[in-house]
Structures are given as C-alpha cells and as structure tokens.
C-alpha cells in the first residue's frame, strides 16, 4: 500500500501513522495472547514442550557464557582492585555486576538470539505454509494452541536462565579469583554476602529478567505472526526479532535500573 508520489511532509506522516498502526496491531495481538492463554494453562503439556524448546535447549549457551563472563570479570576486576589493595572486594564486584546487570541482560540477549529467533522462524514458517490457516479451518484457535504456549514457555524460562547465568558466573569469578589467583576465600564470600541484598539486588534482577522474557517472547511471536509469508519475509522477520528485542532489552534495562537503583 504505497501511494505513488509524495512530498517529504506526507512521507513523514505516512511512516508515523504506519508505526503507530503497527504498535496498535502488536498491542492487540499481545492482549489476545493473554486473553486466550487459558487453554494452554489447562493443557500444561503444551507449555512444558515450549519450556523445553526455549529453556532447556538454551541451557548450554547460557551456562558456557555465564562461566566465561564470570571468569573475565574475575580477571579484570582483580587487575583493577589490586591497584587499590582491595582485592578482597572481588566477590562483591563479581556478584553485584552479575546479579544486577550482566545476568539478566546478557542472558536476555542470548535468549533473544537463541530462542527468540527460533520462535519467529517457526511461527513464520507455519504462516507461510498456511498451517495457521489450516488450524482455523479445523476450528482450532492458532493463538490459543500455538502462540500462547510459546509465550508462557518463554516467560517462565527467561528468569530461570538468568538466575542460572548469574550463579554460574559467580562460580566462574570464584574459580579465577580464589582458585587461580588466590584471593582469600573467606573474605571473598563474606564481603559478597554483606554487600548483596536479597530484595534490593537479587529480587530486582529477577524482576528485570521477567520483564525481558515477556518483551522478547512477545516481540518474537509478533514478528513471526506478522511476517510476510515468503522465504525472504521469514528471514527478515527473524533478523527484526533479534535486532528489536536486543534494543528493547537495553533500553528497558536502562529504564528499570533508573527506577530500581537510584541510590537510597
């Protein structure tokens, strides 16, 4: 639906109206998913299948990257803290940066590229091969049967993955800091425990990862559902999922951080 000839002003107006329209469609889509997810909660097997697809299959990349991020934090943090003679604070540095920021954010970025792209491609192909339409013909609601279980699978998986990422990262920092370099083990853990607050740090990290899981899965599902039903359309939709959700994660992370940690 492209009008033949336009001047600059009407092109700007066109793109603004288009983007607002897309936002409206996406919101209505999300509302419908939430509204019709009753079936998937009653048939919990559907959600379990999707937790397997987006959660269990992402475990390897999450654990490996968490370990390496933690180990790099241990090395770099030690280098910096050593110059101030406070290398005992390494545990605090590793734990706080993982629990507050890196755990939720990096796990969400990995989740978007590993699970989000897979969801978009799957739904896009279903749309292209008219499987969704076929379901409607059989009076099966594709949103309730296909979309909603994937949505809840992603929302459940994401915080668990972020928590696993953080704990593996802390273990990686421990490996490098205490086992390899030889920071005192007692002060590593005790200073960490004194500085990390369960409600302020851990719970806020969990809230972040729930928000990210919600966002990523919603974007991935909408892009798949909205994809042009061609091979090229699927590839574009997959790319858009990764780009849009990564940007959304970073922007949301800033907003959430500004609200959560503005200093007592």
Chain residues binding other proteins by CB under 8 A are: 45, 48-49, 51-52, 55-56, 59, 95, 99, 156-157, 159-161, 163-164, 166-168, 170, 189, 192-194, 196-198, 201-202, 205-206, 264
CB atoms within 10 A of CB 51: 21
Report which of 92, 251, 61, 248 is spatially closest to residue 165, judged by C-alpha positions: 61
3-state secondary structure of 175: helix
31: Cβ–Cβ under 8 A, 6 or more apart, which residues? Answer: none
Q: How far is the CB of 49 from other proteins (least distance, A)?
A: 6
Residue 18 vs 197, nearer CB to other proteins: 197
Residue 168 vs 227, nearer CB to other proteins: 168
Q: How far is the CB of 239 from other proteins (least distance, A)?
A: 28
Q: How far is the CB of 104 from other proteins (least distance, A)?
A: 12
For 131, how many CA atoms within 13 A lie in the half-sphere containing its CB? Answer: 13
DSSP summary character for residue 229: S
Q: How far is the CB of 263 from other proteins (least distance, A)?
A: 9
Q: How far is the CB of 152 from other proteins (least distance, A)?
A: 13
3-state secondary structure of 183: coil
Residue 100 vs 127, nearer CB to other proteins: 100
Residue 147 vs 170, nearer CB to other proteins: 170
DSSP summary character for residue 58: G
Label residues 95-125 b or e (16+ Cβ within 10 Å = b): bbbbbbebbbbbbbbbbbbbbbbbbbbbbbe
Residue 69 vs 99, nearer CB to other proteins: 99
């Amino acid at each position: 639906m492209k009008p033949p000839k336009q001047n600059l002003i009407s092109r700007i107006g066109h793109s603004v109206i288009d983007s607002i329209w897309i936002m409206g469609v996406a919101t209505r889509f999300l509302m419908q998913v939430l509204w019709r997810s009753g079936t998937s909660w009653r048939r919990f097997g559907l959600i379990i299948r999707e937790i397997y697809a987006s959660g269990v299959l992402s475990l390897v990349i999450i654990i490996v990257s968490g370990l390496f991020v933690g180990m790099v934090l241990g090395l770099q943090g030690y280098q910096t803290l050593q110059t101030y003679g406070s290398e005992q604070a390494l545990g605090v540095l590793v734990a706080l940066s993982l629990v507050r920021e890196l755990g939720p954010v990096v796990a969400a970025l990995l989740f978007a590229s590993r699970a989000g792209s897979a969801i978009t491609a799957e739904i896009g192909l279903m749309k292209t091969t008219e499987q969704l339409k076929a379901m409607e013909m059989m009076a099966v609601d594709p949103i309730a049967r296909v979309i909603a279980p994937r949505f809840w699978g992603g929302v459940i998986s994401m915080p668990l993955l972020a928590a696993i990422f953080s704990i593996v990262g802390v273990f990686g920092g421990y490996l490098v800091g205490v086992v390899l370099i030889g920071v005192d083990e007692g002060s590593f853990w005790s200073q960490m425990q004194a500085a990390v607050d369960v409600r302020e740090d851990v719970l806020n990290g969990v809230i972040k990862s729930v928000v990210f899981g919600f966002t990523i899965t919603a974007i991935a599902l909408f892009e798949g559902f909205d994809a042009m039903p061609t091979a090229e359309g699927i590839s574009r939709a997959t790319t858009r999922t990764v780009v849009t959700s990564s940007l959304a994660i970073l922007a949301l992370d800033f907003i959430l951080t500004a609200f959560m940690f503005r200093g007592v």
